[in-house]
Amino acid sequence: MTWVVVGLGNPGDRYAATRHNIGAMVVDLLADQQRERFKKSRFQPVDIAEANLDGTRVLLAKSLTYMNESGPSYASVVIKAKAEAAQVIAVHDEIDLPFGALRVKLGGGTAGHNGLKSLQASLHTSEFLRVRLGVGRPPGRQEVADFVLEPFAKTERDEVDVLVAEGAEAVRMLIADGLVVTQDRCNRSGAPTDAAGA
């Protein structure tokens, strides 16, 4: 069995440290932990690192197209790997969760998240796993699009590191132990302090 872990984000240094790219940060960390390097797919605009997590083949994927157009490249990885939707894990930012929160679930809507919309349309199903990483809502009247494309604040960075590490652990646990166990052990409400409002 092969799992495909999709780290939703936008390509390039301009977006690397932004809230919208926290899913890609998790996939980067997983690759680093396994000492694997990303390589560009020969046929699709996607970088892939192949890892072995506790004896299971896992493809870590980051699209080289912008998030709202990334679904086809991820779907190509899933098809080539002959993976089922239930073996796809999308790791992504979630504005409807408080900063620092983590939730794991199977299926559901997209809540306006363009990366999830594109992935769902390309897989022709919503029944894939999600690791949702809370980035909070924008302060005041700031537009959501502007907020998620900003880097995390300096006061948030330590907690971001914790959240990324916990996101990586949630991915590992989903693969090893399944959804129910992972929800029980990994779901968390948010950062211990209200760093998002700082």
The predicted-structure confidence for 87-139, as pLDDT tens digits, reads as follows 999 999 999 999 999 999 999 999 889 999 999 999 999 999 999 999 998 88
Look at residue 83 and tell me whether its pLDDT is greater than 90.
yes
Cα gap 90→149, rounded to integer Å: 19
Cα separations in angstroms, 180 against 46, 57, 135, 175: 30, 21, 24, 12
Is 166:174 a contact under the CB 8 Å cutoff?
A: no
Q: Which amino acid is at 165?
A: A
Provide the token pair at 45: 């605009």
Q: What is the model's pLDDT at position 77?
A: 96
Q: What residues are labeled active site?
A: 20
Q: What is the model's pLDDT at position 190?
A: 76
List, in order of start, the domains of the chain with CATH numbers.
2-197 (3.40.50.1470)
Is 25:108 a contact under the CB 8 Å cutoff?
A: no
Look at residue 180 and tell me whether its pLDDT is greater than 60.
yes
Q: What is the model's pLDDT at position 95?
A: 94
SS (H, E, C) the chain: CEEEEEECCCCCCCCCCEHHHHHHHHHHHHHHHCCCCCEECCCCCEEEEEEEECCEEEEEEEECCCHHHCHHHHHHHHHHHCCCHHHEEEEEEECCCCCCCEEEEECCCCCCCHHHHHHHHHHCCCCCEEEEEECCCCCCCCCHHHHHCCECCHHHHHHHHHHHHHHHHHHHHHHHHCHHHHHHHHCECCCCCCHHHC
Q: What is the model's pLDDT at position 42?
A: 87
Look at residue 196 and tell me whether its pLDDT is greater than 50.
no
Mean pLDDT (the chain) is 93
